[in-house]
Chains A and B, each alone.
Chain A
Amino acid sequence: MLDIILRFVEILIAGIFSGFIGSLTGLGGGTVLTPLLVLFLGVPIYYATGASLISTIATSSGSASAYIKDKITNVRIGMGLEVATSSGAIVGSLSAGWIYSHGLAWIIYIVFGVVLLTSIIPTVQRGKYEIPKPRPPDWTNRVFKLHGEYHDAALGRTIEYWGVRWWLGEVIMFFAGVISGLLGIGSGALKVLGLDWAMNLPMKVSTTTSNFMIGVTAATGSSIYWYFGYIQPFIAAATAIGVLIGAFIGTKVLVKLTNRFVRWIFIVILNFLGVEMVLRGAGIARILVVPLAYEYLLSTVTSIILMIVLLLKYGRRR
């Protein structure tokens, strides 16, 4: 009895941590949650991804209601891109079903790790500025009404912006959807990439719009996960509650934090978990078997190196 309550609390805490990081970064709660559950709590990866996808809906809906009030989210851009994302999520979750039913779960570990690690790159590169340099509006801007404005509390002024290259956004979003369905995450990193790199939107608009989209994408994927049986009620219950609590705390902090600070912390976390997942996947597939202690050591060392590189390269610039 007590051990069961304890197990629930463990999963709950993993959820709170993930929800907090997820809402600060716009990645959604799942990106950090699945590795935590799989690596440290011994949850089978299909239940972890199922729980994570469910929790992602909770984060997205919970914090979206707060952002709508602030009017930072661009609903038109979000909904337009959701066409590609939800189609992608169907493809991705069906692929996940195929992979698990063929006993190839290690593929999910490795892809998960690689996705975690690659989501570091845009995060580092975009660390330099918050509001993108305006690009000349193109035809998609006119047709799809890709403009808006919001009040930035940190900068203390109203920011006007417009989006370009809608088609490129759609392409990236389709892949974001596939990854979301495949790995049971919100795929927020790819969504932010599509929104701020491809469509040239300000970071805050990307983050909140991506957060809005994550809910719909995750609902699409969850429905298929539901049918496959990847949703375990006890685990999903604990993570849904935990992630929501974490996300709630995160939303309170987001509006106040400058973006650089947000990026730094989660770059290190992403790196650690990413290296871990790749090594674990390689271990299951018997490609490369590393003892657990070395696995953690390797992940920690690469994270420290990454942090030092980042500090040397960007730390002194203001």
Chain B
Amino acid sequence: MDMDSVIGMTLRIGVIISIILISIGVALIIVRGEGMGYSLSELSSMRSPVNSSVIPVITAINEAPSLDGLSLIVLGLIVLIATPVIRVLLGIASFAMEKDWLYVAITIIVFLDLMIAIFIIPMFLR
């Protein structure tokens, strides 16, 4: 299997996992009428106060195995954001296998940009 197929497969699996998690999550919040202690009407209102800044990622990950709907949605969204990040990592590996060092360097810069956006900037703004 060549690297292109691996990358294509990774993207597809990432999206599929994420969509499955999100779909189950939505079904669960509707059936149970709540998620992470928020009521369904709070969760689903267009001007809902429940958003990514009030849901701690760690809590969501911890509560996901207990089949909390909101946690599963949040987990699915995280998987979705992580998919391109993994794709970039695989890109580094792929260019390294071709010994194309210029593009290894370029792809590492792209990866660093992602890391800055995910970890460094929230740290600075806090």
Contact = CB atoms under 8 A, between A and B. Distances in A.
B117 A60 contact: no
Interface residues of A, number: 64
Interface of B: 4-5, 7-9, 11-12, 14-15, 18-19, 22-23, 25-26, 29-30, 33, 35, 40-41, 43-44, 46-48, 50-55, 70, 73-74, 76-77, 80-85, 87-88, 91, 94, 100, 102-103, 106-107, 109-110, 113-114, 116-118, 121-122, 125
A83 B81 contact: no
12 contacts: A4-B41, A44-B46, A57-B80, A61-B15, A75-B94, A79-B91, A80-B106, A89-B113, A215-B83, A219-B85, A227-B53, A234-B29
A50 interface: yes
Given A54-B81, A218-B84, A241-B22, A229 B54 contact: yes
Nearest to A216: B84
Nearest to A87: B113
Given A68-B4, A216-B84, A5 B30 contact: yes
Interface of A: 1, 4-5, 7-8, 41-44, 47, 50, 54, 57-58, 60-62, 64-66, 68-69, 71, 75-76, 79-80, 82-83, 86-87, 89-90, 93-94, 143-145, 215-216, 218-238, 240-241, 244
Given A54-B77, A79-B106, A240-B80, A225 B19 contact: no
Given A83-B113, A240-B22, A233 B74 contact: yes
B78 to A, nearest CB: 9
Given A50-B52, A65-B8, A228-B53, A86 B77 contact: no
A68 B76 CA distance: 24
B51 A223 contact: no
A68 B22 CA distance: 25
Given A44-B47, A234-B48, A237-B76, A60 B84 contact: yes
A219 B5 CA distance: 22
Nearest to B92: A79
B11 to A, nearest CB: 4
A76 B103 contact: yes
Most B CB within 10 A of own CB, among A71, A83, A145, A230? A83
B65 to A, nearest CB: 18
B28 to A, nearest CB: 11
Contact of A226 (B12, B52, B88): B52
Given A57-B83, A57-B84, A236 B77 contact: yes
A86 B52 contact: no
B60 to A, nearest CB: 9
A65 B84 contact: no
Contact of B87 (A90, A216, A223): A216
Contacts of A94: 121
Nearest to B55: A233
Given A223-B117, A237-B76, A61 B70 contact: no
Nearest to B26: A237
Contact of B23 (A54, A71, A241): A241
A240 B9 CA distance: 19
A42 B44 CA distance: 13
A90 B52 contact: no
Most B CB within 10 A of own CB, among A4, A71, A228, A238? A4
Contacts of A41: 46
A77 to B, nearest CB: 10
Contact of B46 (A75, A220, A235): A235
A4 B39 CA distance: 12
A58 B110 contact: no
A61 B51 contact: no
A224 B117 CA distance: 6
Most A CB within 10 A of own CB, among B11, B30, B41, B82? B11
Contacts of B55: 233
Contacts of B110: 79, 82-83, 86, 216
A90 B51 contact: no
Contact of A244 (B15, B46, B100, B121): B15
